[in-house]
Amino acid sequence: MGLFDFFKKKPGIVVQSVPPEVAQPINRNLYLMETFKLRLIEMGYKVDWHTQYLAIIVNDELEIAVVINDIPNNHPSLLQLTVRASHPRYFSGGILESLMGVGLTFEEQIKSGLDNYINSVFLTIIDSFSESHNPAFDFMVNTNGSDVLWHPKMGRLLSQGKWSEEPQNEPLFESIKHLIPGKLTSNKINWLKIYLSKQKNEIFIGECTFNNQPWDEGLSLLSEYANSWEIEGNFKGIKQFMMFRRCDKYDG
């Protein structure tokens, strides 16, 4: 079964390209996926349509599907997207992400949402398929009496709101890195998603999930970091996606 039931194509229907000049596409999800597909091809990736439902296959291994969430009374300049990326060997259950596209037109919102996903999640997932790594972030984990090396793959740290100075280095990773070894599973690849926001009235909003599951202990520590911010404007926010790959040398 695919990502969502509504991604499934009806019998006899063939996925076709949607011309970019269409101002009001009849099938908005199809237009979204076609735009995503063309964008990745322009970036140099091999991209094919899934043969059974509305999704794409990147480099013959990574399946991605994106759907538009129609939210009642949502601001007209905002478009919420839900993305599921799955890999048959590394994360068959899928990596889930919910994000916003911003713009005055549907096309602008799609571009904004896809840019957000590509820069924050997609490139990090692709990087996790290789052994490339920054030794400065590597750490050892004792597993069944043996030390095992892990390679963190850091996604871009994306900021929102007004910052007099952008966060330096890897403040989110540094805040919780001592807890990460205890969260790792036996899978080759694990992942962590973080979003922190603090408003001028001191209200904190945060999300921290490890392998798609809420991680309260991690969020508690990260909230301490966010509460140290001074708010110059109405709010500050940052988000980051990370993956952790077990070094190939330690694969059994």
> pLDDT tens for residues 97-135?
999 999 999 999 999 999 999 999 999 999 999 999 999
Give CA–CA dist 5/120, Å, rounded. Answer: 26
pLDDT of 6 reads: 38
pLDDT of residue 145: 86
Reduce the DSSP state of residue 180 to 3 states and report it: helix
pLDDT higher than threshold 60 for residue 225: yes
What are the residues whose beta carbons fall under 8 Å from the beta carbon of 76, sequence distance 6 or more? none
The residue among 12 and 172 whose pLDDT is bigger is: 172
Which pLDDT band, with edges at 50, 70 and 90, does 246 fall under? very high
3-state DSSP assignment of residue 70? coil
pTM of the model: 0.85
Chain-centre distance for alpha carbon 118: 8
Average of per-residue pLDDT across 68-75: 85
73 vs 47, higher pLDDT: 47
Q: What is the mean pLDDT of residues 25-51?
A: 92
- Rounded CA gap, 3 and 149, in Å? 33
